Structure 1
C-alpha cells in the first residue's frame, strides 16, 4: 500500500479538498466524518479518478467511544498512517458571552478540542509504534486573536494552538512531526454552520473581497506535509490578501 493520510471532517470544505490533494499525490486515504453518504460518494470519486485505496469510517469525533471503536477496528494495514489531518471543527453562533448558547458552547468545545484529542490519542500511538508520522492540526486566525462575539470559538482555537505546541514537544522523541495551519476567512460551509443554515447571512461574510478557498488551504497543507524529513513547519498563518487580521478586511 502507498502512504496513508487520515483526514477527519472529510465530508465537505477543507477536509474534502485535502482528500482530493492527497489522492492526487498518490496517498491511500482514510476519510472520516458524520455523513456516511458523502464519505462513500467521495471515496468512489477519488478511487475512480486517482485509482487509490480509500477506507471510510463514519463517526462523530465528539463521541470518544465511537472514535476509539471505529479507528481501532480498522485493519492493521490501515494503521500505518503517515499523515493525520485533524480537520474536523466548527463554529456555532456569534453572540456576546452573556447571551451565548450553552449547547453551542458544548458543541464547539467537544468538537474542536475533545474531538481533536480523541483522534490524536489513537493515531499518535500508531505513529509511535510505526516510527514515523506527521500530525497537521487545523487551527484558525481565531486561535491567534480574539474578535467580538467570537469568545468561545476563539477559546477553542486558542486551545488547538496550545495543543499543537504541546504535541510537538511530547512527540519530539518519537520523530513525529506536528504542525498547525491557521487560516483566515475561507468560504466553505463554515459560516452556514455558524449561522445554523442561514445562507443569506453566511453569504454576506464573504461579500466585497476574495476569501480563501478550501483548495487554497488544502494545497498549503500539502506543502507542509511534503517538506523533507528533516524539515517541520511548526505553525503557519494563511490569510486572503484582503484580510490583515481577524477583524480587518478590505471590502470593495
Structure 2
C-alpha cells in the first residue's frame, strides 16, 4: 500500500504534469470507486470545466483542489495515477479517466479496485469523512509530543497498532512503522501505556526523519509502486528493518526477526528493540 512518502511523490509528479489543466470531461468505468456524490453521473458532470489549481496531501490522501470542488483520492493497495495522450490504449485496470483540454488524459489505474474518490464543495473536505477523522500528519503543526503522548499513553494496544491507526498519526503504514520503531529502539509489542515521554518523543522524531528521507528518495518500491511518471522509489535500499529478516542488524549485528503483530508482518532487532 502506498504510504505517505509514496503519496507525496505522486503528488509532486502530478503537479508537474497537470497543474492548471482544465477538465473537459470524465469517464468513470468502475462506479464503485466514486463514494461522493452517490451518483457517478453527478461526479462526471460536476467536474466538467473545472481546472486543477493545486494538489495537496493529508496522510495517504491526495486532494485535488479545483475551481469549485476538492477531489479527495485514496490509492489504497494498488491505485496509481498516470498521464497519457488521449490516443494511448486504455488497459482493463484503468477505471477513471479525466480528459483534459490540452489533449492529455489523467488516468486512475487500480488492479484491486479498492481506491476511493470523494468530491466535496470547496472548503468542506476537512469537515467530513474521510479526512475529518485523521490524526496529524508528520509535517503538520499538531505533530508534537504534547499532542500525541496522551493518545498513546491511554492505549493498551501494541505501539505498532497505535502507529498504524490513522486517527492517531496520518500517513504511516507497515513499512515506515517498522523503520520508525527500529530507529527509536522500541519493541513493536510494547503497549502505549508502557511508554514514557522520552520514548514517545523518540518515536515522533524518528517517524518524521524516516518519512523525510523516504520522500527524498521518491518512496519505497516493494512490489508495484511507481510514481506518476512510471519511476520506482529508491528508499528500499535504505531499509534497516522492513524486509530484512535473516540479515544482520545494521547497528549490532544480531539477526533481524520477522514476527506477527495483529497478523501484520513486523520486523525488528531483538537486541536493539527489547520488550522489557
Query: Does TM, scored on the shorter chain, surpass 0.5?
Result: no
Hey, which of these two has a bigger chunk of helix by percent?
Answer: 1
When the two structures are superposed, what TM-score results if normalisation uses the length of structure 1?
A: 0.29
Hey, which of these two has a bigger chunk of strand by percent?
Answer: 2
When the two structures are superposed, what TM-score results if normalisation uses the length of structure 2?
A: 0.27
